[in-house]
Amino acid sequence: MKMFPIARSRRVRSTSFSERIENQGVKAYTVYNHMLLPTFFTSLEEEYDHLKKHVQLWDVSVQREIEISGKDSCELVQLMTCRNLSKAEAGICYYSPLVDLYGGLVNDPLIYKLEKDIWRVCIADSDVLLFAKGIAESRNLKVKIFEAKIDILAIQGPKSLKLMEKVFGKEINDLKFFRYNFFEFNENKFLISRSGYSKQGGYEIHIENLKAGLNLYDYFFEIGNEFNLKPGAPNLIERIEGGLLSYGNDMDIGDNPLECGFDKYVDLESDIIFLGKENLKKIKKEGIKKKLMGVKIEGKSINLIKGLSMLNSDNQEIGELRSAAFSPKFKKIVGIAMVKKDFCKLNEKFKIKLENTVLPGQICNLPIL
């Protein structure tokens, strides 16, 4: 498959760190929330190995933050998500599937409650800003909704804690998984959460002061040699093995949170009100028709730009392969697929047709072990 460069325009935004990233030799970008997201600097395989052993700094400013404030902000945020946020507290990151009237998945952001009537929704790749504004307008809610001018740097990998300690002090040790707090560097405060798009552990630093953010970026690389710090990006191989789902790739508005394995974030029993609640009740009662599963495929290379049909021995379509990459660990292709419920059995065999080749595979659980 041919690779093509991305033509720059106002519709595809650079980030505050794009110049530094390009000076560090980024080799490829993708587009996410109308912004440039690096994909690798050397190769996916090299950076996969490095991420699992050392520490990387990622520019993930593409995770845009929608701020919602005002006296009806709590009502609006709850209308958007099937997770019960009625007792949400400051200091906690809430993974919260957003659903539409039909129960379709709109996004799967982290939601932060900063104060009583101030929320931030850190979004995956879809237009949540318009979604939130549409609900607010239709219900005449008294809220203010805008995209905050915030960039995010992620520090990911097994050496992330030691690196962060050197920059922000021992107090960073007290920050638990999916919690956030404010930490100081050079007299500037940063909201830092213990979170990130890898299974190797790490942090996400939310930057509101651009100059302070650029200084912080440079300082990480000034002191990072001790930890073998490298620039990096969310790694396709590592996220598939770890079962980390990607909105727009593994699931979209045509899927519902029950099919995606988000059952524990779907509250159908309490009296909270959210869009699509009645439809999700009906779906749960009738049972889901498909489910996200892991797959292993005999092969050494694959490059998906669209879903691929998974066929059984009778050439019946049993699912759709949605993400895939060659895994150095398993010495075969690993992937994430939406599989028809009747075929969601471990070791269920299938095949995919790839150009002039037919590759055999089998279904497994997520994460892929």
How do residues 194-231 score in pLDDT, each as one tens digit?
999 999 999 999 999 999 999 999 999 999 999 999 99
Q: Please answer whether residues 220 and 55 qualify as being in contact, where contact means their C-beta atoms are separated by less than 8 angstroms.
A: no
Q: Please answer whether residues 154 and 58 qualify as being in contact, where contact means their C-beta atoms are separated by less than 8 angstroms.
A: yes
* Rounded Cα gap, residues 150 and 164, in angstroms: 20
Q: Is 11 within the bounds of a domain? A: no
- Which helix (H) or strand (E) segment is 293 a member of? strand 290-297
38 plus 155 within the same structural domain: yes
Output the CA–CA distances (angstroms, integers) from residue 41 to 31, 303, 343, in the order listed.
16, 18, 38
Q: What is the DSSP string of 208-245?
A: --HHHHHHHHHHHHHHGGGGTEEEE---HHHHHHTT--
In this predicted structure, the answer to whether residue 338 has a pLDDT above a threshold of 80 is yes
| Secondary structure (3-state) at 115 | strand
336 plus 268 within the same structural domain: yes
Task: Compute the average pLDDT of residues 115-124.
Answer: 97
Instruction: Give me the percent of the chain exceeding a pLDDT of 70.
Output: 99
* Rounded Cα gap, residues 73 and 60, in angstroms: 26
* Res 326: pLDDT: 98
Q: Is 269 within the bounds of a domain? A: yes
Q: Assign 2 a pLDDT band (cuts: 50, 70, 90).
A: low
32 plus 156 within the same structural domain: yes
Q: Is 8 within the bounds of a domain? A: no
* Rounded Cα gap, residues 321 and 297, in angstroms: 11
* Res 356: pLDDT: 85
Q: Is 327 within the bounds of a domain? A: yes
229 plus 287 within the same structural domain: no
Domain that holds residue 138: 65-147
Domain end (from 108, 130, 147):
147
In this predicted structure, the answer to whether residue 313 has a pLDDT above a threshold of 90 is yes
* Res 8: pLDDT: 79
- Neighbouring residues of 224: CB distance < 8 A, sequence distance ≥ 6: 55, 57, 163
37 plus 112 within the same structural domain: no
Rounded to a whole number of angstroms, the distance between the first and last alpha carbons of the chain is: 29
* Residue 76 backbone dihedrals phi, psi, to 5 degrees: -65, -50
Q: Is 254 within the bounds of a domain? A: yes
Report the CATH number at residue 302. Answer: 3.30.1360.120
Instruction: Find, among 256, 326, 331, the residue nearest to 290 by Cα.
Output: 256
Domain end (from 113, 132, 147):
147
Q: Is 10 within the bounds of a domain? A: no
316 plus 301 within the same structural domain: yes
CA atoms within 13 A on the CB side of 347: 0
Long-range contacts of 37-42 (CB under 8 A, 24+ apart): 37/62, 37/233, 37/234, 38/231, 38/232, 38/233, 39/233, 39/236, 40/232, 40/233, 40/235, 41/230, 41/231, 41/232, 41/233
* Res 6: pLDDT: 83
Q: Is 42 within the bounds of a domain? A: yes
105 plus 250 within the same structural domain: no
251 plus 267 within the same structural domain: yes
143 plus 159 within the same structural domain: no
Q: Please answer whether residues 161 and 173 qualify as being in contact, where contact means their C-beta atoms are separated by less than 8 angstroms.
A: yes
In this predicted structure, the answer to whether residue 4 has a pLDDT above a threshold of 90 is no
98 plus 245 within the same structural domain: no
Predicted confidence (pLDDT) per residue in 43-101, tens digit? 999 999 999 999 999 999 999 999 999 999 999 999 999 999 999 999 999 999 999 99
Instruction: Find, among 345, 353, 347, the residue nearest to 320 by Cα.
Output: 353
Domain end (from 114, 132, 147):
147
Q: Indicate the number of domains in the chain.
A: 3
31 plus 102 within the same structural domain: no
Q: Please answer whether residues 63 and 46 qualify as being in contact, where contact means their C-beta atoms are separated by less than 8 angstroms.
A: no
In the DSSP assignment, the letter for residue 198 is S
Report the CATH number at residue 75. Answer: 3.30.70.1400
Predicted confidence (pLDDT) per residue in 160-202, tens digit? 999 999 999 999 999 999 999 999 999 999 999 999 999 999 9
Answer yes or no: pTM beyond 0.75.
yes
Task: Compute the average pLDDT of residues 328-337.
Answer: 98
Q: Is 369 within the bounds of a domain? A: no
**What residues form DSSP beta bridges with 238?**
none
Instruction: Find, among 339, 363, 364, the residue nearest to 349 by Cα.
Output: 363
Instruction: Give me the percent of the chain exceeding a pLDDT of 90.
Output: 95
Q: Please answer whether residues 111 and 81 qualify as being in contact, where contact means their C-beta atoms are separated by less than 8 angstroms.
A: yes
204 plus 267 within the same structural domain: no
Task: Compute the average pLDDT of residues 240-259.
Answer: 98
